[in-house]
Amino acid sequence: MALDNESFEILLATIQRFIRERLVPAENHVEDHDEVPEEIVAEMKELGLFGLSIPEEYGGIGLSMSQEGRVAFELGRTALAFRSVFGTNVGIGSQGILMDGTEAQKHEILPRVASGELIMSFALTEPDAGSDAASLKTRAELDGDHYVLNGTKRYITNAPRAGAFTLMARTGGPGASGVSAFIVPADTPGLRLGKPDKKMGQRGTKTCDVILEDVRVPAANIIGGVPGQGFKTAMKVLDRGRLHISAVACGTAQRIIEESVNYARERKQFGKAIGEFQLIQAMLADSQAELLAGWSLVQDVTRRFDLKPVHESDPEVSMRASCAKLFCTEMVGRVADRGVQIHGGAGYINEYKVERFYRDVRLLRLYEGTTQIQQIIIGREMLRSA
Ligand code: COS
């Protein structure tokens, strides 16, 4: 699956202009009001951003992973809250259905996801199951042709906006093989949301708990119709998501470098622009070299990802996706730290953009698998395949 090159380049140019002319000027609004303006959300729908990764036969734009990576890079160049509005529709919220869903599920759900009419959110994490996702406790008990769900999901991105969840619950015994992935409409009786989480950064993004008390969901809502496959679905979704996040990290690094270069050219100390000092140049150079290394890695792994069928998992590609997530999210952390350092005291002040990006990118090393989880996936695969 891919968009033809010519159409893709036109789309990319349109998205770049949208970011430059609409999103960057709205960054202060998002920071001050902790929300993305509704008119911008409407424009995102018109541009097709909610359906970037959904095939054309289901109403989306049908980008390949390498094309999606290039779009994600651009989206990383502005406040990350903008991407988050449609990020779960493009990625973790919808891809499980695309990879493992039945044809009926795909036809029913994906066109509404692609148009932005339906916001999908991904509910895996729980109060006692974060990195150890296979230990999740949310129960799904069979009762006739329905399952009854009880449990709590935590830090669920876009839950306050969601019309439905891809939600992992335990239909069987302990461990990964007892987990199933359900499509759970947000308006099902017994499902309620916790209070909004107050976060370190990424103002304008919405996360909260999802609490399930005797939530009845048709058995037909199990993704793919077969219980016990949900953990694998979640892992495949995360492999893809990790590549998307890696590309976002590179885009944000690019923006921080631009902000830092501009500041270094304007700010004068000791009688000249600070950019003329080699100690400042050294910080810029390290950031530039690390960004180019990370972005080359992302482009390589997304290309490899595109060579396999969308629903299949290849341990070698998963390992490389984890390498990209590990390297790029740690890289942007260092770039953001140097960005603040180059700005001096101004880098600690909220009106300068690097202060916000410094806080925003901290999350990238945590969600969709911490750096330490990526290390485990990489190390295990190295030993397994040797
Ligand atoms: N694709 C497909 N299947 C996968 C897979 C992948 N990338 N990774 C694992 N699996 C399969 C395994 O092959 C195994 O199947 P079999 O039992 O048939 O052999 C099953 O899933 C269980 O895998 P494993 O034994 O590796 O599970 P673990 O409990 O050891 O957990 C980690 C593996 C730690 C990698 C996993 O729990 C993880 O990624 N944790 C982080 C969760 C996360 O990212 N959370 C973020 C929340 S969403 S923002």
348-365: pLDDT as tens digits: 999 999 999 999 999 999
Taking the CB of residue 208, how many other CB atoms lie within 10 A of it?
Answer: 19
Q: Per-residue pLDDT tens for 151-191?
A: 999 999 999 999 999 999 999 999 999 999 999 999 999 99
Topology, domain 231-385: Butyryl-CoA Dehydrogenase, subunit A; domain 3 (1.20.140)
User: Distance between alpha carbon 59 and the CA centroid of its chain, in Å?
Assistant: 21
Per-domain boundaries in the chain: 5-115, 120-227, 231-385
Indicate whether residue 235 lines ligand 1 (CB < 6 A): yes
Q: Whose CA is nearest to atom 35 of ligand 1?
A: 377
Which ligand 1 atom sits nearest the alpha carbon of residue 130?
45
Q: Per-residue pLDDT tens for 72-126?
A: 999 999 999 999 999 999 999 999 999 999 999 999 999 999 999 999 999 999 9
**Quick one: pLDDT at residue 324?**
98
CA–CA dist 371, 212 (Å, integer): 30
Pocket test for ligand 1, best of 122, 158, 232, 314 (most atoms within 8 A of CB): 232
| Residues taking part in catalysis | 368
Q: Outline where the chain has alpha helix (H).
A: 5-18, 27-33, 38-47, 65-75, 80-90, 95-100, 103-115, 230-266, 278-306, 315-343, 353-360, 371-385
Percent of the chain whose pLDDT exceeds 90: 99
- Reported as half-sphere exposure (CB side, CA atoms, 13 A), residue 355 has a value of 13
Whether residue 133 contacts residue 124, with contact meaning beta carbons closer than 8 Å, is answered with yes
Ligand 1 centre from 323 Cα, in Å?
Answer: 16
Res. 130: pLDDT tops 90: yes
**pLDDT tier for residue 207 given thresholds of 50, 70 and 90:** very high
Torsion of CA 85, 14, 91, 331, to 10 degrees: -90
Angle between helices 278-306 and 315-343 (to 10 degrees): 160
Tokens 């380049």 belong to 9
Q: Per-residue pLDDT tens for 302-344?
A: 999 999 998 899 999 999 999 999 999 999 999 999 999 999 9
**5-115 to CATH, choices 3.40.50.2300, 1.10.1270.20, 1.10.540.10, 1.10.150.120:** 1.10.540.10
Pocket test for ligand 1, best of 125, 156, 235 (most atoms within 8 A of CB): 235
Q: Do domains 120-227 and 231-385 have the same CATH topology?
A: no
**Quick one: pLDDT at residue 71?**
98
The length of the chain is 386
**120-227 to CATH, choices 3.90.1150.10, 2.40.110.10, 1.20.1630.10, 3.60.40.10:** 2.40.110.10
